Amino acid sequence: MNEHIEQLVRDAHESGDYMPLIAEIPYARMLGIRVMRLGEEMIFHLPIKADNIGNPMLPALHGGVLAGFMEQAAMLHLMTSMHSQTFPKIIDFSVDYLRAGLSRDTYATCQVWRQGRRVGNVAITAWQTRSEEPVATARAHFKLD
Amino acid sequence: MTIEQRAQSFLSVLRHCQLLGMTVEQADENGLVIKLPYSDLIIGNPVTGVVHGGAITTLMDTCCGISTVCYLDEFEICPTLDLRIDYMHPAEPGAPIFGFAECYRVTPTVIFTRGVAYQQSREEPLAHVVGTFMRMGKGAIDSQKVPAASGGTA
């Protein structure tokens, strides 16, 4: 594995600041993903950005952008909770859209329901106004090395 | 307008899809193919250069969503209810990814779609996808236009 990235992952685990690592992931950088640490909790943040809009008439966040944000959140959450040095690989991803993702800032939190030796199961909740009113929920399986 | 022109005009207004350079490759009454070119923007693993799953989800959400125009007489806004992607293997870095989607059941309230993401051939999918879309339109029954599930029993 690339030594630079490996070092960034180690630094992130040590300092709790994952922004330098996110800055090295081109897709996460393009979406503009940010992460806040509240003690041990991680809240992922997707600030509104014109390039993330799907339908400009509504206007609404592209459903794929919302899903991509949630998948990236799950991956980082899993790496953090496992102190993993490598990026977990996605096996499957399932998302339910509950409300229109409007042109607003979006937040996500994750829960690892099961972390086996080979596979991890992560649930993701995304919201815009209040966490009790999610815009989408998702579930992902990752292959762990 | 032909089905392909309708699909193209639908895709052309989606800003994020334009940013990723997505284009309609083929569209007819049997389904839709959209191309996602490889670019540095969509790399998910900076070590291997493998495309992020989110970019493939975006391709497939778009492809399944626009495939509804292949079956509906008039344009209707159909928001995604849910989408599931199963990854068979990672995408080869440097090459474009294609998304194919078809509607296998159209009812007055929902449209069931399925598809694959692939690089070399549709017979060797990177990922299988199913997506369900809500009909917000006039609720017209267009189901007689759709052949009873092409193959599957779902």
Q: Compute the residue count for chain A.
A: 145
Architecture of the domain defined by A3-143: Roll (3.10)
List of chain A residues with pLDDT < 50:
none
- B153 has a pLDDT exceeding 90: no
Query: Which residues from chain B sit within 8 angstroms of residue A12, using beta carbons?
Result: none
Judge: B43–A67 Cβ closer than 8 Å, yes or no.
no
Q: Reduce the DSSP state of residue B133 to 3 states and report it.
A: strand
For chain A, the average pLDDT equals 92
Lowest mean per-residue pLDDT among B24-28, B34-38, B121-125, B136-140: B136-140
Residue A9: per-residue pLDDT: 83
Closest C-alpha among A56, A40, A51, A34 to residue A106: A34
Q: Which long-range contacts (CB under 8 A, 24 or more apart) does B117-126 make?
A: B117/B56, B117/B59, B117/B60, B117/B85, B117/B91, B119/B91, B119/B92, B119/B95, B122/B98, B125/B88, B126/B56, B126/B87, B126/B88, B126/B89, B126/B90, B126/B91, B126/B97
Residue B141: per-residue pLDDT: 42
Percent with pLDDT over 70 in chain B: 89
User: B49 with B94: CB under 8 angstroms?
Assistant: yes
Total structural domains in chain B?
1
Strands B80-87 and B125-134: antiparallel
Provide the token pair at B88: 């068979």
> To which residue do tokens 């409007």 refer?
A102
Distance between CA atoms of residues B37 and A40, nearest Å:
39
Please identify among residues 34-53 of chain B the ones whose CB lies closer than 8 Å to any CB of chain A: 40-47, 51-53
Distance between CA atoms of residues B63 and B25, nearest Å:
11
Single-letter residue type at B11: L
Q: Is residue B89 part of a domain?
A: yes
Judge: B15–A94 Cβ closer than 8 Å, yes or no.
no
Range of the domain at B36: 3-145
Single-letter residue type at A76: L
Q: Is residue B13 part of a domain?
A: yes
Residue A101: per-residue pLDDT: 87
Residue A115: per-residue pLDDT: 92
- B154 has a pLDDT exceeding 90: no
User: A93 with B57: CB under 8 angstroms?
Assistant: yes
pLDDT digits (tens, 9 = 90+) for B51-65: 999 999 999 999 999
Distance between CA atoms of residues B131 and B111, nearest Å:
8
Beta-carbon pairs below 8 A across chains A and B: 126
- B147 has a pLDDT exceeding 60: no
> Is residue A13 packed enough to be buried (19+ CB in 10 Å), middle (13-18) or exposed (0-12)?
middle
Domain boundaries, chain A: 3-143
Q: Is residue B152 part of a domain?
A: no
Q: Is residue B74 part of a domain?
A: yes
Residue B150: per-residue pLDDT: 36
Closest C-alpha among A16, A67, A62 to residue A41: A16
Longest dimension (CA), chain B: 50
Residue B145: per-residue pLDDT: 43
pLDDT digits (tens, 9 = 90+) for A47-61: 999 999 998 888 899
ipTM for the complex? 0.93
Q: Provide the pLDDT confidence category of residue B146 given band limits of 50, 70 and 90.
A: very low
Q: Is residue B151 part of a domain?
A: no
CATH number at residue B38: 3.10.129.10
Judge: B54–A68 Cβ closer than 8 Å, yes or no.
yes
Query: Which residues from chain B sit within 8 angstroms of residue A63, using beta carbons?
Result: 58, 61, 65, 79-80, 83
Quick one: which H or E segment has residue B64? Answer: helix B53-66
DSSP string, A35-99: EEEETTEEEEEE---GGGBS-TTTTBB-HHHHHHHHHHHHHHHHHHHHT-SSPPEEEEEEEEE-S
Q: Compute the residue count for chain B.
A: 154
Longest dimension (CA), chain A: 46
**Segment B77-81 mean pLDDT:** 90
